[in-house]
Structure 1
């Protein structure tokens, strides 16, 4: 039996005849009501009473992407779509530049950020293949690993995380930032060398772990690459691009700016922009690796989905000025910038991704405006709020509080506070 839905401009069917172990506890059909706002923003309203998110939906890509090869066939609903676009008073940009921000940090609470869009397809594929565990990899403060741990637990799947770490002793790892949520979700974590490469070091370990889970527990495991960045996860931001179209970005902006760390979001947005004939200019600020590395990743994606009419270099500008001291390593300037942005605009940026990208954007706008098509810029906030609690930013605030004390001692009612 199938029940039809309309979500994000895409036709879905609720698959209620999938294998029983994948749909235990599902007693409700999700209802979706489509409305149109003043900014042509189609919003999908869901009723959640009795709803369980391991309900598999059949998936059909947007019309402009239906011809692509290797498209996924199923999806699960895990996040709140149509995150808002808001005006952003970003400090440090030229006065004639208009910056807005796409709030994909508002996709959920513990599921905040861009990774959940990809995981709707990746975890659906895991369920449809009768997997009982997922394995993925990233850094100790990986947003992708945290989001996977939370979403997998929500779907009743075991989570196994391979974490690149400078620390070798698990007892010294702590429970700050994303690590706290990993622990709360009961994720099994394995520390691997900080410079472990995906193809030569991580994938063999993931396969070894898959075999061990099968032998010791009799369960199948589904492996997810770094950042969820493969042709299945790609559809998270092909649909994300459709969402942006529905929000009228083609007429409202000249340039879109995002952070790139694994390449999946950059691939989805740039390929969507190309396939729909949009003339927006896409920019990705790299916080690790090189422009050549990410162009290679996107070109491999283009080949896999059957697009041979364009190369990555022709559909996205990848800027290398955001890396700083290295992936996950912050400079005082970057942390001060995050502090300033929060204080002046209330937008929270994380030290690993969006903080570095936004700072690099302000510098690039001052240095070379010719790289940008116009003065109307949309910044895609990809989340990462839990990374703010890894300890670095707190230390910066504590160290600088002597010059600008935000916390005062007023235990004595006869005393007077100092007003700043």
Structure 2
């Protein structure tokens, strides 16, 4: 349980178009219902938060940018893969707010920029590329290097962790869970399950904590796209613990219900197999819903498999949170030969 007291939100910059729509996926529901029944599938369209379909990242960055401004910072530094949705969103937020953006990118780049990287560069973000081994072993030092680099030039930088997933960023989905539950009430139902992709843990942490704070009985499940279930169990707890420290709200961690399905990660992060690409095509052709093979496509594929198994047959309403990422679809264009 959480020791309740009125929540005092930290500084926030209003960037997203909220509330985002909640839509039924009735063709998907009909196709994947079983003889034993199953839930009506809904989608929370957080891919429509704005800023070039920046999805869940924009909710988090509203609070990150608010804190950066409160501290008098004029520069944002963050990190991620070459096709990071979070880095792309940070680049666009910085451009919108007149702040410099430095991206620490994992991987090497050659040729013509595509997808998120193209948007990073269009938005004017500075990019620095590092081999994966150096990136993972020296990330803290890389942040220090770039923070000092800008300080020496008279600028004050605010450092943002991977995915803005920490005790500050999860405010975005504490507020987001309140919005989602209000959407459901307006449509006349109470969700039994809320499902999202989980890659850095912050969205799942915010939804999990938000539902608990609001007294919802919905079971939040993160479909992992990398690492393993144990990692996300720990990461979600760390983010909530950090939130508790920053906000002064006590949390009984033993009461937290942290649910992770890590059965559909596939070969690894940002690597998908043909069934995932087929699920992406199916969502687009049945519902006009565009998913990506790194996050939402993997999670949605996993959800469809669990529906087929009858995992949710005793549930009446299930909400899939579409966290965005469509720009990450285009660098995978060669994986859709079955469309030709």
Gaps of at least 5 residues in structure 1 are 1-62, 403-420
Give 2:76's match in structure 1, choosing from 134, 138, 150. 134
Other-structure match for 1:218: 154
Residue of structure 2 aligned with 1:203, choices 140, 149, 155: 140
Aligned residues: 326
The alpha-carbon distance between structure 1 residues 289 and 195, as it changes in their structure 2 partners (threshold 3 A), is farther
Per-residue Cα deviation, 1:258-313 (whole angstroms, up to 9, x for no partner):
1100011101100111122211111110001111111112222333304342347x
Partner of 1:288: 226
**TM-score, length-normalised on structure 1?**
0.73
Task: Tell me the SS of whatever aligns to 1:86.
Answer: strand
Matched, 1:192 2:130: yes
Structure 2 residue 3 is the aligned partner of structure 1 residue 66: no
Aligned position for 1:329: 271
Against the structure 1 CA distance between its residues 120 and 64, is the aligned structure 2 distance closer, same or farther, given a 3 Å change threshold? farther
Deviations 1:330-351 (CA, angstroms, capped at 9, x unpaired):
2122112211221121100011
Pair member with larger Rg: 1
TM-score between the two structures when normalised by the length of structure 2: 0.89
Equivalent in the alignment of 2:235: 297
Asked if the contact 2:178–2:211 (Cα under 8 Å) also holds between the matched residues in 1, the reply is no
Q: Which moved more, 1:263-272 or 1:123-132?
A: 123-132
1:143–1:368 CA distance, 2 compared to 1 (3 A): same
Q: In structure 2, what is the Cα distance between the partners aligned to 1:401 and 1:228? A: 36
Partner of 1:247: 183
**Aligned partner of residue 379 in structure 1, secondary structure:** strand
CA distance in 1, matches of 2:54, 2:87: 12
Q: 2:169 aligns with which of 219, 233, 236?
A: 233
What is the distance in 2 between the residues matched to 1:302 and 1:86?
A: 29
Task: Give per-residue Cα distances to partners, 1:222-256, cap 9 Å, x unaligned.
Answer: 10000001111111111101112322359332111
Q: Which has the higher contact order (CA 8 A, sep 6+)?
A: 2
Give the conservation status (yes or no) of the 8 Å contact 1:254–1:373. no
> Match for 1:78 among 15, 35, 57?
15
1:366 aligns with 2:294: no
1:266 aligned onto 2:204: yes
Runs of 5+ in structure 2 lacking a partner?
none
Name the structure with the higher helix share: 2
- Is the contact between residue 192 and residue 318 of structure 2 (CA under 8 Å) also seen in structure 1? yes
Q: After the TM superposition, which of the residue ranges 281-290 and 296-305 deviates more from structure 2?
A: 296-305
